[in-house]
Chain A
Amino acid sequence: MTTSLVAIAQPPWEMTTPATAQTVITAILAVVVAGFVVAALLVWRRSGKPDFLLMLAGGLICSFNEETVDVLGHCFFPNDGWTVHAFFGRGIPVWVVLGYVIFFGGLPYLMAFAFQHGVTHRIMWTCIGIFWVLNVALEIPVLGTRLYVYYGYQPFEIGGFPISWLVINSLGAVFGAVVLTRLAWLFAGARRRLVLFVPFATYMSSWVLAMPHFAITNTDAPTGIRMAAAVISMVLGLIAIDVLIRFGTGQVRLLPPQSADAITHRHAAKLNADAASPTAVP
């Protein structure tokens, strides 16, 4: 068996953080996170459940994934900025951690809320499309300020932003939302605290589908192979997002046949009984 060519592109270690851009993006994201936290506290007070707040904290914990995914996907933040944590030689700035709270904490919670309130498959895909447009609109200017960079040869780049990341990021967020939705009954009582780890575990797990792209990125394979690997990962990711949306909306349920029948039967019986009740609203 022949081996792939051995190579790993090095990050631009000498890159420095532009001070003004860092201040601006940190302030913006801090305001957004503050808004999410206030909303989470209000939801807690209204519903008696701290799930929203736990998910935001989970987004913070999830930010510890960033170093690993940066190594895999060849993203680099200069190490001289306002760094919150660092390993594998990669410092992660405050603004990225705030971004995680929003995109892997707050956003999955909102998606879970939408699932629980009957959002349709079509609307969910529309929302994801809007998210992608906003993601590109945000990342391209930020990349333009040299706050960070996707280094080495990256397939399907737009303004320095590899669009495969749209799929990778949204897959992780949707996965977290579906776990929160479909296992809502599990995260009750003392187990509610496990919600803290949902964003971390689901985002990391979702990288499996990105591995064709990540693996080839870390060789010096020619352009065609890199593009093919990126396409494979994007296609797998899009299929997974669609399947996850179907799980989230309840269109597909991961239940063994007997349990599915039992639950369907019981739900139908309950609906019939409710409808027949003298107090039922027509």
Chain B
Amino acid sequence: MTPSALAMDQPPWEMVTPSTPQLIITVILAVVVAAFVVAALIDWRRTGAATFLLMLIGGYVCSFDEPLIDFLCHCFFPADGWTGHTLFNRSIPIWVVLAYVVFYGGLPYVLSIAFKRGVTRRVLWISIGIWGALNLAMEIPLLHSKLYVYYGDQPFLVGGFPLSQLVFNAFGALLGAVTITRLWWFFTGARRLLLVVVPSVTFMSSWAVGMPLFSALGTDAPHGVRVFAAAISMALGLLGIDTLIRLGTGQLRLLPPVPAAPNAAEPSSGADRDPNAIGA
């Protein structure tokens, strides 16, 4: 097997942070996070469970994933801004940390509430579509202001934004939502504290579907190969999103089949089997 040529695009290390856009986006996201925190505190008081707040904290913890995903997907934030933390030689601005609290902490919690209240697959897909449109509407102006950049030869760029990121971001948030929805019975008592690591663990696990694209980005493969790899990753991601939605709505259940009650006189009616369980 011939190896791919060894190459790695370098970030634009010389890039600097535009101060006004940084101020604006930081303030906006700080207000949104504050609102989420207030909502979480009210929810805690009302329900007696700190799940919402723990997920917001989990979103903050999840922000420590950003340097690594930046390395993989070739995203770069200038290092001279208001930096929240730095790992792998990648500085992450405070506004990005705040965005993580919203998108990987708050949003999965809101999705889990929707799942519990019976949202349908159709409604959820429409919501994801709306979210994707809003995501684009937000990121393109931010990219235009040079707050950050997706560097190197990126497939499926729209206004500097690789469309594949819509899939990966949605997949990561959904995986967190489905985890806390389907395993709600596990995150009780002292184990409730484990919620603070759910966003980080699920987001990082979700990168598996992005690896075909990330791998191609880490070479000097021609554009056609990158497009192909991105298409594979996006297809895997969309399939994953649909499966997660089905799991979240209960249309699919990840439960082993329950053996039928043995009764030599009467055949089992099958009523004891969950018709929606995979393998039932």
On whether the beta carbons of B201 and A208 are closer than 8 Å, the reply is: yes
Segment of A42-50, A136-144, A267-275 engaged in the interface with chain B: A267-275
Q: Which residues in chain A, 37-79, are within 8 Å of chain B measured between CB atoms?
A: 64-65, 67-68, 71-72, 79
Given that A3-B83, A3-B85, A218-B87 are known contacts, is A89 also in contact with B208, CB under 8 Å in the complex? no
- A205: which of B91, B204, B218 is its contact (CB, 8 Å)? B204
Query: Within 8 Å of chain A (Cβ to Cβ): is B127?
Result: no
Chain B residues whose CB sits within 8 angstroms of the CB of A79 once the complex forms: 6
Residue among B67, B87, B183 facing the most chain A CB atoms (10 A cut-off)? B87
A68 in contact with B216 given A91-B3, A270-B259 (CB within 8 Å): no
Q: Are B72 and A205 in contact (CB under 8 A)?
A: no
**CB pair B86 A4 closer than 8 Å:** yes
Bound-state Cα–Cα, A135 to B258, Å: 40
- Name the contact of A6 in the complex, choosing from B8, B91, B200, B256 (C-beta under 8 A): B91
Q: Contact residues of A with B, CB < 8 Å?
A: 1, 3-4, 6-8, 64-65, 67-68, 71-72, 79, 83-91, 183, 185-186, 188, 197, 200-201, 204-205, 207-208, 211, 215, 218-219, 254-257, 259, 262-263, 266-267, 269-270, 273-274
Given contacts A1-B85, A262-B258, A263-B258, contact A86 B3 (CB under 8 A): yes
Nearest A residue to B204 via CB reads: A208
Q: Do residues B3 and A85 form an inter-chain contact, with CB atoms below 8 A? A: yes
- Chosen A-B contacts, 25 in total, with CB atoms closer than 8 Å, are A3-B83, A4-B85, A8-B88, A68-B211, A84-B1, A85-B3, A87-B215, A88-B8, A89-B7, A91-B3, A185-B256, A186-B278, A204-B208, A204-B211, A205-B204, A211-B64, A215-B67, A215-B88, A218-B88, A218-B89, A257-B185, A263-B256, A263-B259, A266-B272, A267-B259
B205 at the interface (CB under 8 A from A): yes
Cβ B211 vs Cβ A64 within 8 A: yes
B interface, CB within 8 angstroms of A: 1, 3-8, 64, 67-68, 71-72, 79, 83-89, 91, 94, 183, 185-186, 197, 200-201, 204-205, 207-208, 211, 214-216, 218-219, 254-264, 272, 278-279
Within the assembled complex, what's the spacing in Å between the Cα atoms of A187 and B74?
A: 35
Q: Is the Cβ of B279 less than 8 Å from the Cβ of A64?
A: no
Q: A185-B256, A185-B279, A186-B254 are in contact. Are A254 and B186 (CB under 8 A)?
A: yes
B63 → chain A closest CB, angstroms? 11
Residues of A within 8 A of B86 (CB): 3-4, 6, 219
**Closest Cβ neighbor of B253 among chain A residues:** A259
Report Cα–Cα, A189/B157, bound state, in Å: 38
Q: Which of B6, B200, B207 contacts A89 (CB 8 A)?
A: B6
Looking at the assembled complex, report how far the CB atom of B222 sits from the nearest CB atom of chain A, in whole angstroms: 14
Please give the distance in Å from A57's CB to the nearest CB on chain B: 15
What 6 A-B pairs have minimum CB-CB distances, sorted nearest first? A87-B218, A273-B262, A88-B218, A3-B86, A185-B279, A83-B3
CB distance from B182 to the nearest CB of A (A): 8
Q: Which of B205, B207, B218 contacts A67 (CB 8 A)?
A: B218
A185-B256, A208-B205, A273-B262 given as contacts; is B219 within 8 A of A3 (CB)? Answer: no
Tell whether, in the assembled complex, residue B204 and residue A259 are in contact, meaning their CB atoms are under 8 Å apart.
Answer: no
CB-CB under 8 A from A273, the residues of chain B are 262-264
Contact B259 A266 (CB under 8 A): yes
In contact, B6 and A219 (Cβ under 8 angstroms):
no
Closest to B79 in A: A6
Q: Which residue of B lies closest to A83 (CB)?
A: B3
Known: A6-B91, A65-B211, A200-B211; 18 extra A-B contacts, CB below 8 A, are A1-B83, A86-B4, A86-B6, A87-B215, A89-B6, A91-B3, A91-B6, A185-B279, A186-B254, A186-B279, A200-B208, A208-B197, A211-B64, A218-B87, A255-B255, A262-B272, A270-B259, A270-B262
A154 to chain B, nearest CB (A): 17
Identity of the chain A residue whose Cβ is nearest the Cβ of B280 in the assembled complex: A185
Which residue in chain B gives the minimum CB-CB distance to A209? B201
A39–B248 alpha-carbon span in the complex (Å): 40
Question: Which residue in chain A gives the minimum CB-CB distance to B255?
Answer: A259
Assess whether B258 is in contact with A259, with CB atoms less than 8 Å apart: yes
Residues of A within 8 A of B4 (CB): 85-87
Residues of chain B within 8 A of A263, CB atoms compared: 256, 258-259
Q: Distance in Å from the Cβ of B203 to the closest Cβ of chain A?
A: 9
Within the assembled complex, what's the spacing in Å between the Cα atoms of A1 and B60? 13
Which residue of chain B is the closest to A206 with respect to CB atoms? B205
Q: Are A86 and B219 in contact (CB under 8 A)?
A: yes
CA distance A67 to B219 in the complex (A): 11
A197 to B239: give the CA distance in the assembly, Å. Answer: 14
Residue numbers in A under 8 Å from B183 (CB-CB): 254
From A277, which residue of chain B is reached at the shortest CB distance? B264
Closest B residue by C-beta to A219? B87
Residue of A nearest to B97 (CB): A1
**Chain B residue contacts of A255, Cβ below 8 A:** 255
Q: Is the CB of A8 within 8 A of B258?
A: no
